[in-house]
Amino acid sequence: MSTQIATDSFKKQLFLLFEETFDHVHGIYLDRGTSLFETLDAISAEEASRPVSARCACIAAQVAHVRYYLEVLLDGYLLKKPIARPDWPASWQLEHVTADEWQALKENLRQTQQRVLAAMNDLDVWDGQDNIGASLAILAHTAFHLGQIREVLCTVR
């Protein structure tokens, strides 16, 4: 016998996890004040640009990479647009940001996140890799980089 998850229940939990990851902690898996945008708002451009080591990306590069990842999964999986092969190494190339560039980078991430949420909200059918897989991958990938950003803060501060 097959068991199915009601789409409304799945979406409710998914959106709650997205909210916790990006915007506002509900206590599901993060501590108060540690969502992605809460964390980024407390980081200066200087801190975002400070390298941890010669082989590790700065926080600004982490944010640029997360935004790029969201774009790839949004276009290629959620919106099912044809996309070029992703250039993952290029998504890590950012080394320094000014205060204005840091603000713009965070705003671009926010806009991309809002586009992802709108695309997910508009989906009528949730049935596989293109929507379930992509949405869960976005959550896991973003949570991973949030953890890395928070660890880098321990070093740059």
Structure confidence by residue, pLDDT tens digits, 72-105: 999 999 999 999 999 999 999 999 999 999 999 9
Residue 143 in contact with residue 74, Cβ under 8 Å?
no
Task: Compute the chain's Rg from CA coordinates.
Answer: 16
For the chain, the structural domain boundaries read 8-156
Its sign, for the CA torsion 79, 83, 86, 90, is negative
Return the CATH fold of 8-156.
Four Helix Bundle (Hemerythrin (Met), subunit A) (1.20.120)
Q: What does the pLDDT average to over 143-156?
A: 95
pTM equals: 0.94
CA distance to 15, 51, 54, 58, per residue, from 90 (Å) = 30, 17, 17, 14
Q: What pairs with residue 56 in β-bridges? A: 53
Give residues with Cβ within 8 angstroms of 2, minimum separation 6: none
Spatial separation of the C-alpha atoms in residues 125 and 132, rounded to whole Å:
10
Predicted confidence (pLDDT) per residue in 14-51, tens digit: 999 999 999 999 999 999 999 999 999 999 999 999 98
Spatial separation of the C-alpha atoms in residues 152 and 157, rounded to whole Å:
8
